[in-house]
Amino acid sequence: MNIYLIRHGDAENISKGLKDFDRKLTHEGEQKINNAARYWQSIIPGFDLILSSPYYRALQTAKIIASVFNYESDIHTDRKLGCGSDTDDLIEIINSFDGNDVAYIGHQPDLSNHTSVLISGNGAFVEFKKGAIAKISFHNKVKEGKGILEYLIPQNLFIPK
pTM: 0.93
17-70 pLDDT, tens digit each: 778 778 899 999 999 999 999 999 999 999 999 999 999 999 999 999 999 999
pLDDT-derived band at 160 (thresholds 50, 70, 90) equals low
pLDDT-derived band at 158 (thresholds 50, 70, 90) equals low
Residue 146: which domain range? 2-158
**Number of domains forming the structure of the chain:** 1
| CATH number, position 60 | 3.40.50.1240
HEC profile of the chain: CEEEEEECCCECCCCCCCCHHHCCECHHHHHHHHHHHHHHCCCCCCCCEEEECCCHHHHHHHHHHHHHCCCCCCEEECHHHCCCCCHHHHHHHHHCCCCCEEEEEECCCHHHHHHHHHHCCCCCCCCCCCCCEEEEECCCCCCCCCCEEEEEECHHHHCCC
